[in-house]
Structure 1
Amino acid sequence: MHLKKLVVRNFRRLRNVVIDLASDISIFVGANNSGKTSVGHALQLFTGVGRFNIHDFSAELWAEIVAFGESGEEGDASLPKMEIDIWLEIGPDDVHRVIDLLPSLAWESTLVGMRVAYVPRNPAETRTRYAEVRQRALDAVAKNDDGAPVFDPSPHNLREFLRDRLHDEYELRHFVLDPARFDANMVAEVGYHPASVSGRERSGREILNGLLRIDFLNAQRHLSDSPGGSRAEDLSHVLSRFYGRNLEQKGEDIEALRALAASEVSLNEHLERVFEPTLKSLSKLGYPGLSNPRMVIRSALDPAKIMNGRDGAIVHYALGADDGNPDPPTLPDHYNGLGFKNLIFMVVELLDLHAQWLAIEDDRPPIHLVFIEEPEAHLHAQLQQAFIRKVMDILALKDEDRTHNTSQVVVTTHSTHILYERGFRPIRYFRRSRVQNVPTSDVLNLSVFYDSTDPDIRSFLERYLKLAHCDLFFADGAVLVEGNVERLLLPQMIANAAPRLQSTYLTVLEIGGAFGYRFKALIDFLGLTTLIITDLDSVFGPLAQDGEDAAHAQPEEAEPVAENAPALDADAEDMDDEDEDAPEAAGKPGKACIAGHPGAATSNQTLLQWLPKCDSVAALWEATAEQKTQARANDNDALVRVAYQCRTDVTWGDETLALAGRTLEEAFALENLKWCQHKDRKPLQLRIARAGEKDLTTLAERIHKRVQAKSFSKTDFALALLAEDPINWSVPTYIAEGLRWLETEIAPPLLDDNEDEEQPQGGGREPKADAAGDEVAP
């Protein structure tokens, strides 16, 4: 038996969500304020732990509450309610445990469910009481000469009235659900009313608590390095509490009683023995490892306080190797770092919660659900991965307990290291609504994506995301870039061309044109706003022309650029390609060519298979903004835009032509042509020898050959450009336009209308003119 599904309605951001839970571990991810923690709070409140607050109602319902207070008896307004449907999946051996939840004798299913609703006790009486309180408040206020109150007293409306009286006006009610009356999305038939459990031998709360125990390990663990902090909790206190609740205690251990009377040595041996399983559990997570001190439990040896007070058992860290010395040199627990403190704390707390559940002898709830909030606090990447990898081992059940009981874990996290350690299946993605001023979320089950996606694409995505550790599931938007150069330069390009994007949460994926389309399924599933920055990747098409048009062709012997090839020596004399004046071979289909070659095609699979689905360079240049955009059909669908090199006006001397680069480096060189050809720009590797003697067409061809040459290092180009003052160069037009589009979609609006000035086409800044003595144009 395990908790299969939760359906939450009208609770905070969770207006109406279905959450599928794995039988072992589920990982809740999403941007901040997307509702992950609210799920745990909802379970606490609906199972009777704590009190509801008026702010627990979804914000959209506040107007309904106010309207009901102002309506008359004949009005259509009604008081809203909050609900949670709890669905359990059971096996044949579990039927006797859920008798109270069987909807009828004709029940044939593996699901049983209970609805817990927080509903008004008597809406009409609530409205009457509000009206009376409101009137008394008005009567008590002094009046002006016209008889009107000098101010409007509280409560101004029913919402304010319920703010202080919600618990008196609302109550929890429990209902049995019939799975046959629900569809696959857990939506009930029209007109279906579940049966109440009132009047049965056990109350709804008793039935639910008899099946499900819920515990929480909160994110605010208040560990501290400083001694005596008011909110800090040291490990010694945690272990003393753990001992007091779960382990063999001194009153039942003759050896311990003798130790108390005899010697500190015997008592320490006792503590070592009873804590041995706990320390072994820690060892599964790689602690202490090779270079970290071992943890040792020492008694304070005050017989009146041992193991009962805050400082009854004190954690020490033994220095040096474990050579069997019963009394090694030690340091107290506050001398260890916060990371290991947090790890030890979580393990001890989990073992404590687990042991308390197993200690219930009569009518133990068969399901133990533990919520762990943000376990990554203070933990480095490897410890995060070790924890999430081994957490189920720590809570593993043995022997008979394994047959009749289930431990389930829900982890909420912002850690990519935790996320990708487990793959797609456990991920539950909380996605905030994009409708303006509507604070709601929905929940996506990544196991559905896993099962419905082509296995090759799915395996590629899992391996890539695990290696890249990107924060795709926590971002406002994504930027898919061609390669390392774009990734390195993107922050500066954003600052130049679309500075408001600096106030958003972006994730940047380096995917290349050959693999970008493989992200389509995941982007679509998550509904992310995405900009794809890719290359034209022009190649000779099947109709490549010979003769005079062959002058544009790339030599057959040219090979793709090596990413880390040695850069040209910035201090050497400029040298053009050795075969500059050699006749160029006719193009073969599939070979790289300059973008403007007649009949050129694209080899970029993203442009071919995703957007805009054009195969020729001419068609790509003619593509409209609509063709380059994957629009939304619904508010939460993905919105995707592609950006690639298109023709822009390039000026060299007195000559101006519409040209486009094949790659980022070419596009940058053409749109910053005069600046790149200056003698101080040698480190960029884009300066062509005797450039002033060449016409614009020839210069563009030489730049194309330079970028395609094996000696050209793209990474060195990016690093050299970062060393330049960014005010002196322009962002290539295709990237600037794409970034501004993304800025419009996801960036917060400008606070000052004066800041919204039109920016230059090249990306926000025009390059500074060279000094008169440094002119390089012909």
Structure 2
Amino acid sequence: MLLTEIKIKNYRLLVSSTLRLDKNTTLIVGRNNTAKTSCMSFLSMVLNGQKLKYDDYPLIQRQKLFKLIECMLKKEISYEDFLSKIPLAEIVFCVDYSIEGIEDNLGSLSPFIIDIDDQTTTAIIKVKYDFKITEKDFFELFSECISDDEAGNKVIQIGKIRDLLVASFENLFSLSIIAVNPTIEDDIQSKSLQELKNLFPFFSISAERSLDESVDYKTSSLKKVISSYFSVEKEKIDENISDSVLKLRKIVEDANKSIQNESNKLLSDIIEKSIGFGYPNADELQLGVTTNLEINNQIQGNSELTYSKKGTDEFLPSNYNGLGYKNLIKIQFQLAQFSEMIKQCKLSSIPLLFIEEPESHMHPQMQQTFINFLESFLERIFNIHIQTIITSHSSHIANAMDFTKIRYAQKKGEKVTYKNLNRFVDANPENADFVKKYLTLSKCDLFFADKAIFIEGASERLLIPDMIKKCEQKGYFTTKHKLTAQYYTLIEVGGAYAYKFIPFANFLGIPSLIITDIDTVKKENTKYKACLVSEGETTSNKTIKEWMKDYITLGSGEKLSVKEIKELNNENKTKGICHIEYQIEENGLCGRSLEEAIRNVNRGIYGLNTSASEEDIRFNDKCKTDFALDLILKYEDYDIPQYIIDGLVWLNNQTANV
């Protein structure tokens, strides 16, 4: 059986969000503050039976709650209506048990299967925080929010409503757990928190991992593991290490007894010889000393991880090793603890593992290795199937993860939704395969950016960041938050493939600028070859061709003309949150590429006069990288081609989904 879906309402930014889970590993990616960890926080809170805090209640719903309380105090609605209209924090679990047979023991899921339809293989569990106080208690609590104005009219003070909610919020809501009949929504049964915990053993590995093995053993992973060996029952110890653990216990117990007896005897003798003033006498109880020495406490509190060289007796302390390896070891220890916890589950269940930002301190190759081998590692140490949810800001981890396992956390205003990349695949079959392969082969920063710039190649990759700074210096950006301070990513895709990313950028909701080349060509004999823009018949640029399909209808055998491309107006260069720019005419000439456009507007730098022709601005060098570096390093005051300025100003003015 598998947990297939989690639906969350009214918890922080998750006002109405659905997270579809992969059967093995689900990766949640997205920019900062997009509620990637909130899902884990709510799961943990619910499964531990914790109270709902005011700070966890969505900002977007608070005014509605204030208004409902105001209406109730004015007696404009009944208490039943009031209760039915409160936006409640809730989480719904959808479990698929179709892989089990009808006669199979469904273990911890059994209490939540309340339908009698043999064809139904879905169980639905709803957990919510109900408003629990009575109508009488409600008016007693909020009565001080009612006052009289000068005319004697009743006035409701919203400020006081808020203050009372802040002070008493945790006591106003109580956790309720119900099983819902998938076929009859009103058919429900109340369940206990323990039944829910039995079904979903939950373990989280947070990003704030203490990596110092020399700190208090209660927070140190190695010391916690060692400590558990002295308290866990024999039958609960991993069979691979049980003999060694029992042997260690025996040695410690014998040593404890021996040291205890000897220390008691010696300390009692010292005390007896040290006390004077007539006490004790022969008729009174004699003084003695009993010590409570426990070697196992010393082992627990002073065991530290060390690193030794093979074939020698030399070792180095834990803090001499890199944080990346320590983080990896720490995660492995914590997974081992979860494994031991799962072994105590007597009935079949759905264990949930949450790992927050595992990439901390790991270099890119280590991150990719970790994510590639995580599932096989879990299969090796666990005796039942584990469903894992990971959050990450690492493009390296995103690269290594199968596309279908990725969920993109998209923020719009005060709400976050989890976007399943499978839906993009289904809706865009012609583009999805390319996008998947590209993001797998490259650094997919697109998941973590506010805005994106799709570019041709090396020249743009080097020059665009510098041109963005120059646009700000020259005052082209007029918004409060300039593009230089926004999180944009440059994605090098060339003119042949940029158009394939347009549906994906729209799916993710990321404002995107495409900077490409006009790439004019003319027919020579039977083939089209590169030529000056003034001589061009059409373009070889696939992205421009695809873009223009919405504005130009071509008959059979017709080619898109250069004239039509050059005449595309600014309005039609924008589609939704995507915008395209390519070379335009400046100083009477139009370059065919970025390099030619730069030569055209910087004629003094390249020894060209005002009467230069398109042939004069033609770029004939082999290395575009050298051209770009030479411009940046030698000429601080170079001019930016207008089409680049237009595109960057458009992108600067777009509102990111924040």
Q: What TM-score, normalized to structure 2?
A: 0.82
2:446 touches 2:489 (CA, 8 Å); kept in 1?
yes
2:469 touches 2:484 (CA, 8 Å); kept in 1?
yes
Matched ranges for 1:237-316 at <5 A: 237-241=223-227, 243-244=229-230, 246=237, 248=241, 253-254=246-247, 257-258=250-251, 304-306=294-296, 310-316=300-306
Query: In structure 1, which of residues 728, 739, 761 is the aligned counterpart of residue 648 of structure 2?
Result: 739
Q: Counterpart of 2:617?
A: 703
Q: What is the SS of the residue equivalent to 1:108?
A: coil
CA distance in structure 2 between the aligned counterparts of 1:733 and 1:537, rounded to whole angstroms? 17
Higher relative contact order by CA 8 Å / sep ≥ 6: 1 or 2?
A: 2
Alignment-mate amino acid for residue 443 of structure 1: Y
Shift of 1:2: 1.3
Q: Counterpart of 1:713?
A: 623
Distance 1:525 1:100, change over 3 A: same
Q: Counterpart of 1:89?
A: 96
Query: In structure 2, which of residues 117, 120, 136 is the aligned counterpart of residue 109 of structure 1?
Result: 120
Unpaired runs of 5+ in structure 2? Answer: 257-291, 553-559
CA distance in structure 2 between the aligned counterparts of 1:126 and 1:391, rounded to whole angstroms? 52
Alignment-mate amino acid for residue 717 of structure 1: F
Alignment-mate amino acid for residue 240 of structure 1: I
Alignment-mate amino acid for residue 88 of structure 1: V
Q: Counterpart of 1:359?
A: 344
User: What does the per-residue CA deviation read over 1:671-702, in whole Å, with 9 as the maximum and x for residues that have no partner?
Assistant: 1222332xxxxxxxxxxxxx55x9433xx213
Matched ranges for 1:228-627 at <5 A: 233-234=219-220, 236-241=222-227, 243-244=229-230, 246=237, 248=241, 253-254=246-247, 257-258=250-251, 304-306=294-296, 310-319=300-309, 322-323=310-311, 328-360=313-345, 362-363=346-347, 365-396=348-379, 405-433=384-412, 438-454=413-429, 457-498=431-472, 500-540=482-522, 589-597=527-535, 600-610=537-547, 615-627=560-572
CA distance in structure 2 between the aligned counterparts of 1:242 and 1:377, rounded to whole angstroms? 27
User: What does the per-residue CA deviation read over 1:739-769, in whole Å, with 9 as the maximum and x for residues that have no partner?
Assistant: 00000003799xxxxxxxxxxxxxxxxxxxx
Query: Is the counterpart of residue 663 in structure 1 residue 593 in structure 2?
Result: yes
Shift of 1:209: 1.7
Alignment-mate amino acid for residue 505 of structure 2: I
Distance 1:446 1:123, change over 3 A: farther
CA distance in structure 2 between the aligned counterparts of 1:311 and 1:611, rounded to whole angstroms? 71
Shift of 1:74: 2.5
Shift of 1:206: 2.8
Shift of 1:628: 1.2
Q: Counterpart of 1:211?
A: 199
Identify the range of structure 1 (23-32 vs 245-254) with the bigger mean alpha-carbon deviation.
Answer: 245-254
2:65 touches 2:86 (CA, 8 Å); kept in 1?
yes
Query: Is the counterpart of residue 197 in structure 1 residue 192 in structure 2?
Result: no
Distance 1:628 1:234, change over 3 A: same
Distance 1:155 1:645, change over 3 A: closer
CA distance in structure 2 between the aligned counterparts of 1:487 and 1:627, rounded to whole angstroms? 26
Identify the range of structure 1 (74-83 vs 407-416) with the bigger mean alpha-carbon deviation.
Answer: 74-83
Alignment-mate amino acid for residue 60 of structure 2: E
Q: What is the SS of the residue equivalent to 2:604?
A: helix
CA distance in structure 2 between the aligned counterparts of 1:646 and 1:206, rounded to whole angstroms? 68
CA distance in structure 2 between the aligned counterparts of 1:62 and 1:375, rounded to whole angstroms? 34
1:25 touches 1:410 (CA, 8 Å); kept in 2?
yes
1:479 touches 1:509 (CA, 8 Å); kept in 2?
yes
Distance 1:512 1:713, change over 3 A: same
1:539 touches 1:600 (CA, 8 Å); kept in 2?
yes
1:612 touches 1:627 (CA, 8 Å); kept in 2?
no
Shift of 1:102: 2.7
Alignment-mate amino acid for residue 424 of structure 2: F
Q: What is the SS of the residue equivalent to 2:39?
A: helix
Alignment-mate amino acid for residue 629 of structure 2: L
Q: What is the SS of the residue equivalent to 1:219?
A: coil
Matched ranges for 1:175-190 at <5 A: 175-180=178-183
Shift of 1:355: 1.4
Alignment-mate amino acid for residue 94 of structure 2: W
Q: Counterpart of 2:36?
A: 36
Q: What is the SS of the residue equivalent to 2:404?
A: coil
Q: Counterpart of 1:221?
A: 209
CA distance in structure 2 between the aligned counterparts of 1:153 and 1:63, rounded to whole angstroms? 14
Distance 1:262 1:119, change over 3 A: closer
CA RMSD of aligned residues (A): 3.2
Distance 1:52 1:382, change over 3 A: same
Alignment-mate amino acid for residue 142 of structure 2: A
2:451 touches 2:656 (CA, 8 Å); kept in 1?
no
Identify the range of structure 1 (50-59 vs 76-85) with the bigger mean alpha-carbon deviation.
Answer: 76-85
Distance 1:463 1:307, change over 3 A: farther
CA distance in structure 2 between the aligned counterparts of 1:606 and 1:122, rounded to whole angstroms? 61
Q: What is the SS of the residue equivalent to 1:109?
A: coil
1:481 touches 1:511 (CA, 8 Å); kept in 2?
yes
Distance 1:70 1:309, change over 3 A: farther
1:65 touches 1:80 (CA, 8 Å); kept in 2?
yes
Shift of 1:393: 2.1
Identity of aligned residues (%): 28
Q: What is the SS of the residue equivalent to 2:403?
A: coil
Alignment-mate amino acid for residue 625 of structure 2: T
CA distance in structure 2 between the aligned counterparts of 1:308 and 1:103, rounded to whole angstroms? 52
Alignment-mate amino acid for residue 703 of structure 1: I
Alignment-mate amino acid for residue 381 of structure 1: P
Shift of 1:236: 4.1
1:504 touches 1:746 (CA, 8 Å); kept in 2?
no
CA distance in structure 2 between the aligned counterparts of 1:54 and 1:645, rounded to whole angstroms? 54
CA distance in structure 1 between the aligned counterparts of 2:65 and 2:161, rounded to whole angstroms? 6
Shift of 1:260: 7.5
User: What does the per-residue CA deviation read over 1:692-741, in whole Å, with 9 as the maximum and x for residues that have no partner?
Assistant: 5x9433xx21322xx1x3x4311100110110343x11111001100000
Q: What is the SS of the residue equivalent to 2:123?
A: strand
CA distance in structure 2 between the aligned counterparts of 1:128 and 1:309, rounded to whole angstroms? 58
CA distance in structure 2 between the aligned counterparts of 1:84 and 1:56, rounded to whole angstroms? 14
Aligned length: 587
Distance 1:670 1:428, change over 3 A: same
Identify the range of structure 1 (155-164 vs 341-350) with the bigger mean alpha-carbon deviation.
Answer: 155-164
CA distance in structure 1 between the aligned counterparts of 2:401 and 2:408, rounded to whole angstroms? 14
Q: Counterpart of 1:685?
A: none
Q: What is the SS of the residue equivalent to 1:488?
A: helix
CA distance in structure 1 between the aligned counterparts of 2:464 and 2:583, rounded to whole angstroms? 16
Query: Is the counterpart of residue 157 in structure 1 residue 190 in structure 2?
Result: no
Alignment-mate amino acid for residue 79 of structure 1: I
Q: Counterpart of 2:270?
A: none
Shift of 1:121: 1.2
Alignment-mate amino acid for residue 73 of structure 1: K
CA distance in structure 2 between the aligned counterparts of 1:34 and 1:168, rounded to whole angstroms? 28
Identify the range of structure 1 (152-161 vs 338-347) with the bigger mean alpha-carbon deviation.
Answer: 152-161
CA distance in structure 2 between the aligned counterparts of 1:412 and 1:540, rounded to whole angstroms? 51
2:399 touches 2:444 (CA, 8 Å); kept in 1?
no
Distance 1:128 1:490, change over 3 A: same
2:221 touches 2:334 (CA, 8 Å); kept in 1?
no
Q: What is the SS of the residue equivalent to 2:330?
A: helix
Alignment-mate amino acid for residue 626 of structure 2: D
CA distance in structure 2 between the aligned counterparts of 1:122 and 1:313, rounded to whole angstroms? 51
Q: Counterpart of 1:292?
A: none
